[in-house]
A and B are shown apart, each in its own frame.
Chain A
Amino acid sequence: MWMADSKWINTMSNQQISKEEIKAIYPKVAEIVADALGCDEEEVGLESSLIDDLDAESIDFLDIVFRLEREFKVKIPRGKMVEDARGNLTEAEFEQKGVVTDAGLANLKAFMTEVPEHRFSDPMKSATIPKLFTTETFCKMVLRLQKESS
């Protein structure tokens, strides 16, 4: 029952973010990502994977997160995305020996609805989760944080 509730929460938190809201915030997020990565804004699509498509590295994520925090007046703790995707699962229920569990993978997919199914490898190493992050992932994260703070 508790897992069903948390899945509902995950689904509801994503449903509370409309496509219109994402569309409204996307240009500024794309501008920030492009500036941080030194690429053209045209290259930063909503569906672009920051690592696989735009060659972002960990230092770039630090820069992007910092710029998003300043622009949108939110606080993005390290690991926030995975923590939210984990939902009600404990860390041990989410991953074992560096590999995401079946329950963890299900929660990831339910939470990151903007990521195409085929990009979730099975098994999936937890260290590779950031490769799933797209521009839309960051748009939704900012929007969720803005809603939480209000």
Chain B
Amino acid sequence: MADHFRAFSFVDRIFEVEPGVSIRGEYRVPDDLDFFHPSLLGESVGQIAAWAAMAAVDFEFRPVAGLAGRIELGVPVKPGDLIELSAELDRADKDAVAYAGVAKLNGESAIFLKRALGPMLPMSDFDDSEAVRARFDLLCGTGAEPGAYGGIPDLDWKQVDDDDDGKSVAIFQVPGPSPFYNDHFPLRPVFPGSLLMEVCMTFVNSVANSQSTPEKGSRWKTLAISRMKIRDFTSPGDQHTLTAKQTDISEDAATWAVEIQKEGQVTGSVRVLLIAED
């Protein structure tokens, strides 16, 4: 399949790996893109950690997104940039993976993941283990040819309501069938948790800036997300309801809590931390 290991893969090379313990590699952001979503930096860190975890269990299991204690955004990344990736794993077995990781641009942190935890599920539900193993060998050897990622559909969300309780509501229509699903994952298309968090960040940013101006600064921008929790898979074409509420505010910082629901059931939650910028 042409999109496998291309359409949504964000590790080009692995320089060092101790399965289940640590890993270091790199990713070159394609230079023909208009924009590189910040959440995809988080995806790249998650993916390199996943390689170390999968190698520890002989590629019989693979991790999926679960929890992230904190994800901090750093220097911006643009098309053409070379990202250094690394992760330290506290745990990697057939049940779960726990790790922290960072993506750096010229030695400066572009994104930092702390206290990430995800269940490990049978590889056979998602991909061919021998194909995954072969990919790992390639990444550890000569590396993959950069530039494969070609973008994703627009992440369309629409604000529908602000209620008296201070909550803002939006509907997010998950993109339908698209090439990137063939790589996430070949046997079971799943809308990436990283992109779901991107939608939440964008929604909160929009609502926060429409509702208020920080006392110190001219606008709000996203500093980090925390307490990210993904409880269920999102499939192509799903419709999510996002409910956001400001839970804390100071003169230069604000926190918003977002709940994600599908068909009335809570499928995820996250807190978005904003800071004031000039």
Q: Judge whether A59 and B119 touch: CB under 8 Å.
A: yes
Task: Classify chain A: how many residues form its interface, as a range.
Answer: 10 to 19
Contacts A59-B67, A62-B66, A63-B67; A77 near B231 (Cβ below 8 A): no
Contacts A59-B230, A59-B231, A62-B66; A78 near B95 (Cβ below 8 A): yes
Cα of A76 to Cα of B10 in the assembled complex, Å: 33
Q: Mark B52-67, 1 if CB is under 8 A from A, else 0.
A: 0000000000000011
Q: Which B residues touch A58, using CB under 8 A?
A: 119, 231
Other-chain residue from A38, A63, A77 in contact with B117 (beta carbon distance below 8 A): A63
Q: Judge whether B229 and A59 touch: CB under 8 Å.
A: yes
Other-chain residue from A38, A66, A78 in contact with B91 (beta carbon distance below 8 A): A66
Contacts A59-B67, A63-B67, A70-B90; A77 near B95 (Cβ below 8 A): yes
Closest to A69 in B: B91
Q: Mark A53-88, 1 if CB is under 8 A from B, else 0.
A: 000011110110010011000000110000000000
Task: Classify chain B: how many residues form its interface, as a range.
Answer: 10 to 19
Q: Which B residues touch A60, using CB under 8 A?
A: 229
> What is the distance, in angstroms, from A93's C-beta to the closest C-beta of chain B?
25
Q: Judge whether B229 and A62 touch: CB under 8 Å.
A: no
Interface of B (DSSP majority class): strand
Q: Judge whether A62 and B231 touch: CB under 8 Å.
A: no
Closest to A77 in B: B95
Q: Which A residues touch B98, using CB under 8 A?
A: 66
Interface residue? B227 (CB, 8 A): yes
Cα of A70 to Cα of B96 in the assembled complex, Å: 14
Q: Judge whether B227 and A62 touch: CB under 8 Å.
A: no
Question: For residues 116 through 165 of chain B, which have their beta carbon under 8 Å from a beta carbon of chain A?
Answer: 117, 119
Other-chain residue from B91, B96, B117, B231 in contact with A57 (beta carbon distance below 8 A): B231
Contacts A38-B227, A57-B231; A62 near B96 (Cβ below 8 A): yes
Cα of A77 to Cα of B91 in the assembled complex, Å: 12
Cα of A130 to Cα of B26 in the assembled complex, Å: 41
Q: Judge whether A66 and B96 touch: CB under 8 Å.
A: yes
> What is the distance, in angstroms, from B187's C-beta to the closest C-beta of chain A?
22
Q: Judge whether A62 and B119 touch: CB under 8 Å.
A: yes
Cα of A70 to Cα of B98 in the assembled complex, Å: 11
Cα of A66 to Cα of B89 in the assembled complex, Å: 13
Closest to B98 in A: A66
> What is the distance, in angstroms, from B194's C-beta to the closest C-beta of chain A?
16
> What is the distance, in angstroms, from A43's C-beta to the closest C-beta of chain B?
17
Q: Judge whether A59 and B95 touch: CB under 8 Å.
A: no
> What is the distance, in angstroms, from B234's C-beta to the closest C-beta of chain A?
14
Q: Mark A27-41, 1 if CB is under 8 A from B, else 0.
A: 000000000001000
Cα of A43 to Cα of B41 in the assembled complex, Å: 37
> What is the distance, in angstroms, from A57's C-beta to the closest C-beta of chain B?
6
> What is the distance, in angstroms, from B53's C-beta to the closest C-beta of chain A?
14
Cα of A70 to Cα of B67 in the assembled complex, Å: 16
Q: Which A residues touch B66, using CB under 8 A?
A: 59, 62-63
> What is the distance, in angstroms, from A86's C-beta to the closest C-beta of chain B?
19
Cα of A130 to Cα of B47 in the assembled complex, Å: 31
Q: Which A residues touch B67, using CB under 8 A?
A: 59, 62-63
Which residues of A are in contact with B by a Cβ distance under 8 Å?
Answer: 38, 57-60, 62-63, 66, 69-70, 77-78
A63-B67, A66-B90 known, 8 other contacts, Cβ within 8 Å:
A57-B231, A59-B66, A59-B67, A59-B231, A62-B117, A66-B91, A66-B98, A70-B90
Q: Please list 26 pairs of residues, one from A and one from B, whose beta carbons are closer than 8 Å in the complex, sorted by A's number.
A: A57-B231, A58-B119, A58-B231, A59-B66, A59-B67, A59-B119, A59-B229, A59-B230, A59-B231, A60-B229, A62-B66, A62-B67, A62-B95, A62-B96, A62-B117, A62-B119, A63-B66, A63-B67, A63-B117, A66-B90, A66-B91, A66-B96, A66-B98, A66-B117, A70-B90, A77-B95
**Considering the complex of A and B, which 7 residue pairs feature the smallest CB-CB distances, nearest first?**
A78-B95, A59-B66, A63-B67, A57-B231, A59-B231, A62-B96, A66-B98
